[in-house]
């Protein structure tokens, strides 16, 4: 039986890596829908190559342009537009698996729609879980959906934890802590003065991974690790204090689990997202991902260090937001998204990103995150606050 797949965020870095893996296994996977926002020509090429049944553009104008181009090309793909269509292709009865790879809060509603429809959700879009943790995990449980982490660190933790970790008290007692690894980004070892004047081009130049712009800036500020800390707490139902962050510049170990007997299980591999994507698609089986074997002889040294909290405050801000609970993490996430976009437009300095997040967490009121409306209202209030600060 082939599995029907919807790829949310198909034109992005994770989207394209997913299509690469899927195309290696035409006997196992078929594409139901691909989605994007505004990159029409990029989407046209994907439609011609991969022939999904549907192509959805979140942006209406882009959808109209794509529909014309698809007609002219005779590609035979139906084009839809808008957020409702994104949710429809994520929850359609024909779909088995949904790759959630839209960047940022824009991915929340379609990813939640997939969870509510009981799909197998391959979660790359960490922001969706950070914003709505409790609600999202409840939707997974209530609808018998399957949630598989695609973020390489969470995928590594998932592979290294004992089976049934979440539901089995004995299994939980066997684990001492989770070691969430971080590359440290392009500014590892820098001081605050040096960081103040960095440019977007420097910030998006990640030493090990090739990724979209927003996550690359998040990696440089360590906000990505902060979001991942929150993501891990929700995914594995652990407290923030059970997770230690360890800088590992080579990104060969993707994360580890330490057991009470002193054993440490690590998942290793080349830094290539096709490995966790293939794992998610095929779990509990394994399939070829196109990733080369790890050459240990060319990695004769693996290094580890502690993160520098005085230079990278994002980690502590994230820990505080998670511990505050309610809508605090949605506020943190929204403030970060607006600040990163402003940094990429060269409107604010790199160090202003975390200053603005701190400001939003102090200014915006937290509420219980028990409905999507409350979460979206918190997201909007943080965006307003940061936008006003930037234009003031
Ligand atoms: P990219 O920026 O490369 O791609 C983002 C995708 O989302 C594109 O398809 C884009 O469409 C689409 N998109 C953007 N805005 C909207 C919107 N408003 N509505 C609908 N779709 C939208 O991001 P990445 O692939 O790097 O990251 C995607 C997610 O995966 C993020 O949450 C990131 O944190 C996570 N992740 C990424 C990793 C990586 O290696 N890249 C690793 C681990 C996690 P368009 O092209 O038309 O703008």
Residue 242 to residue 87: CA distance in whole angstroms:
35
| pLDDT at res. 300 | 87
Looking at 116, 133, 150, which one is the last position of a domain? Answer: 150
For ligand 1, residues with CB inside 6 Å are 9-15, 36-39, 58, 101-103, 106, 124-127, 151, 209, 211-215, 273
Nearest CA to ligand 1 atom 36: 124
Residues 256 and 120 in one domain: no
Range of the domain at 136: 3-150
Q: How crowded is the C-beta side of 257, counted as CA atoms within 13 Å?
A: 23
Report the 10 Å Cβ neighbour count for 187: 20
Residues 210 and 315 in one domain: yes
DSSP code per residue over 203-215: HT--SS----HHH
User: How does residue 1 score in pLDDT terms, banded at 50, 70 and 90?
Assistant: confident
Residues 123 and 196 in one domain: no
Please state the rounded mean pLDDT for residues 32-37: 98
Q: How crowded is the C-beta side of 87, counted as CA atoms within 13 Å?
A: 10
Residues 167 and 313 in one domain: yes
Residues 77 and 179 in one domain: no
Cα(264) to ligand 1 centroid in Å equals 32
Residue 9 CA: nearest ligand 1 atom is 9
The secondary element (H helix, E strand) that includes residue 35 is strand 29-36
Residues 136 and 31 in one domain: yes
Q: What spatial distance separates the first Cα and last Cα of the chain, rounded to whole Å?
A: 57
The secondary element (H helix, E strand) that includes residue 5 is strand 3-8
Residues 113 and 245 in one domain: no
pLDDT at 169 over 90: yes
C-beta separation of 18 from 101 below 8 A: yes
Residues 260 and 386 in one domain: yes
User: How does residue 160 score in pLDDT terms, banded at 50, 70 and 90?
Assistant: very high
Looking at 150, 183, 205, which one is the last position of a domain? Answer: 150
What is the DSSP code (8-state) at residue 6? E
**Tell me: the pLDDT tens digits for 227-269?**
999 999 999 999 999 999 999 999 999 999 999 999 999 999 9
Looking at 112, 127, 150, which one is the last position of a domain? Answer: 150
Please state the rounded mean pLDDT for residues 113-121: 98
Residue 83, token pair as written in the block = 């957020």
C-beta separation of 123 from 100 below 8 A: yes
Cα(170) to ligand 1 centroid in Å equals 38
Beta carbons within 8 Å of 1's beta carbon, 6+ residues apart: none
The mean-pLDDT minimum among 23-27, 90-94, 108-112, 165-169 falls in 165-169
Residues 162 and 136 in one domain: no
Residues 141 and 168 in one domain: no
Residues 146 and 162 in one domain: no
Report the domain count for the chain: 2
């Amino acid at each position: 039986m082939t599995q029907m797949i919807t790829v949310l965020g198909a034109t992005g870095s994770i989207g394209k890596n997913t299509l690469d893996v899927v195309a290696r296994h035409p006997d196992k996977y078929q594409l139901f829908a691909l989605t994007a926002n505004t990159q029409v020509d990029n989407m046209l090429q994907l439609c011609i190559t991969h022939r999904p049944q549907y192509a959805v553009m979140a942006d209406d104008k882009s959808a109209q342009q794509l529909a014309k181009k698809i007609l002219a090309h005779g590609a035979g793909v139906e084009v839809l537009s808008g957020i409702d269509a994104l949710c429809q292709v994520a929850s359609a009865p024909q779909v088995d698996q949904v790759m959630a790879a839209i960047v940022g809060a824009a991915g929340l509603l379609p990813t939640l729609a997939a969870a509510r429809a009981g799909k197998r959700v391959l979660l790359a879009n960490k922001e969706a879980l950070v914003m709505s943790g409790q609600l999202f995990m409840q939707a997974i449980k209530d609808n018998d959906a399957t949630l598989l982490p695609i973020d390489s660190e969470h995928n590594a933790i998932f592979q290294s934890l004992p089976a049934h970790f979440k539901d089995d008290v004995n299994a939980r007692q066997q684990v001492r802590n989770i070691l969430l690894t971080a590359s440290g980004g392009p500014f590892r070892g820098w001081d605050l003065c040096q960081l103040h004047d960095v440019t977007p081009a420097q910030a998006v130049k990640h030493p090990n991974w090739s990724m979209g712009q927003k996550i690359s800036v998040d990696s440089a500020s360590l906000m990505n690790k902060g979001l991942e800390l929150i993501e891990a707490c929700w995914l594995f139902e652990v407290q923030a204090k059970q997770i230690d962050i360890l800088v590992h510049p080579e990104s060969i170990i993707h994360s580890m689990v330490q057991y009470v007997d002193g054993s440490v299980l690590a998942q290793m591999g080349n830094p290539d997202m096709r490995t966790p994507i293939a794992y998610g698609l095929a779990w509990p089986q394994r399939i070829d991902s196109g990733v080369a074997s790890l050459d240990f002889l060319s990695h004769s040294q693996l290094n580890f260090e502690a993160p520098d909290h005085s230079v990278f405050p994002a980690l502590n801000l994230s820990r505080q937001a998670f511990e505050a609970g309610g809508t605090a993490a949605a506020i943190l996430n929204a403030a970060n998204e607006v600040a990163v976009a402003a940094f990429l437009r060269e409107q604010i300095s790199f160090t202003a990103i975390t200053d603005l997040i701190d400001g939003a967490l102090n200014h915006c009121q937290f509420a219980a995150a028990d409905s999507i409306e409350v979460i979206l209202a918190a997201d909007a209030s943080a965006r307003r606050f940061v936008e006003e600060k930037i234009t003031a």
